[in-house]
Amino acid sequence: MRRTITLFVVSIALPALAIDWPQWRGPNRDGVNPEKNLLENWPADGPKLLWRASGVGGGFSSIAISEGVLYTIGDLKDACYLIALDLQGKQIWKGRVGETGGHRKYPGPRSTPTVADGKVYVLGQQGDLVCFDIKTKKEAWRENIQNNFDGRMMSGWKWSESPLVDDGKVIVTPGGNKGALLALNTKNGEQVWRCKDFTDRAGYSSVIIREIEGVKQYIQLTGDSVAGIEADSGKLLWKAPRKGRTAVVSTPIFDKGSLFVTSAYNVGCNGFKISYEGGSFKAVQTYKHDGSAGMANHHGGVIRVGEYVYGSNGGRLSCIQLATGKVMWNEGSAGKGAILVVDDKIILRTEKGPVSLVELSSKAYKEIGRFEQPDRTRHRAWSHPVVSNGILYLKDQDTLFAYDLRK
């Protein structure tokens, strides 16, 4: 039975630049929230718990927030569902995505919904890509990227990326010999293009958009390479070999010609320089750190702020200079986990439960506060934390927690 507990707070200061969080890692897919005026440190028992809501479905999806509605996907008894909640955690509606299950030891979806132009786009763990109309609360169209597009994965963790919506297209990665990257029409799900020269098996990373030398590109990381695909045509522009193991999850980082990718299982991180020379794009590796020497990020994401990259490195937290690969610091933290940046601080949600607040600095690691999420499940806490309008959201399988970070 779903339970909702709501606590109300009076006389609060609203955060400056309060924003929605309509997709994986926020408006710009970079894990950075520009809100200010939040708590500078936390009480010993953590920020005030406003409410918790059960019935949001098992799995490891994070949440998207748009126009006062929270969206997530999760496994219920009969199916995987998109679930919409109000800002007090009360369910508004739900829509069936596909079959439950996935990995035998870690079942449930991992993708985060994408909200755009009155629609919600979700990718279930069995390859079901579904578009829901927010106004009617009904399914608009669906495809299955495994069955209908001969999708192939690098390993058995099932589809995990979060769909990218851009310029009337939904971008996903079925993987396989018929083309790793696929663009579908947002209106009806019909194919716009498929990158047939990019034939890697799909990993678990999500696509980012960047303009390089005046050309808008979709950048994707797989278990075999990292590649740039022209947004308009689906043409493969460049590709750099880069071998991963088991699961390659973290979203690529790109800024001012420098590309950073990382994965776990003792692989490490790589830097590349992307340039345009002699009528074509080139990707040249500029540095490589094996294993945990730099950053071997599992599934906690990586965030760039200025010229530095931050992310989990096993049970440590690391800071690396993006352009050069110089390791600024690599220190023990609250544990391996997922991070976001807000109000010039890092929030680290570890897979075993503790949540910590860390100073955002390239000079040194400094933890400011830490608390334990109550009623932890036996599952690892892989769902990424989200902050929107001064509220910290933590999903732990079937339960969503909301904490007040406002002063």
Residue 196 belongs to a domain: yes
Residue 143 belongs to a domain: yes
Residue 120 belongs to a domain: yes
CA-CA-CA-CA torsion sign (384, 110, 114, 135): negative
* The amino acid at 234: G
**Smallest Cα–Cα separation from 79: which of 98, 94, 61?**
98
Q: What is the pLDDT along the chain (407 residues), one digit of tens a residue?
A: 344 433 333 334 556 667 899 999 999 999 999 999 999 999 999 999 999 999 999 999 999 999 999 999 999 999 999 999 999 999 999 999 999 999 989 999 999 999 999 999 999 999 999 999 999 999 999 999 999 999 999 999 999 999 999 999 999 999 999 999 999 999 999 999 999 999 999 999 999 999 999 999 999 999 999 999 999 999 999 999 999 999 899 999 999 999 999 999 999 999 999 999 999 999 999 999 999 999 999 998 899 999 999 999 999 999 999 999 999 999 999 999 999 999 999 999 999 999 999 999 999 999 999 999 999 999 999 999 999 999 999 999 999 999 999 99
Total domains, the chain: 1
Residue 57 belongs to a domain: yes
The boundaries of the domain holding residue 179 are: 15-404
- Which residues 6+ apart lie within 8 Å of 116 measured at CB? 22, 23, 165, 186
Residue 87 belongs to a domain: yes
Residue 5 belongs to a domain: no
Q: Residue 250 belongs to a domain with what CATH number?
A: 2.130.10.10
Residue 59 belongs to a domain: yes
- Which residues 6+ apart lie within 8 Å of 383 measured at CB? 60, 61, 62, 63, 338, 349, 394, 395, 396
Q: In this structure, are residues 237 and 217 in contact, taking their beta carbons and an 8 Å threshold?
A: yes
Q: Which residues of 195-307 form beta strands (DSSP E)?
A: 208-212, 215-221, 225-230, 236-241, 253-255, 258-263, 268-277, 280-290, 302-305
CB atoms within 10 A of CB 134: 18
CB atoms within 10 A of CB 31: 27
- Which residues 6+ apart lie within 8 Å of 406 measured at CB? 9, 12, 13, 14, 15, 37, 38, 39, 390, 391
Residue 7 belongs to a domain: no
Residue 65, token pair as written in the block: 């927030």
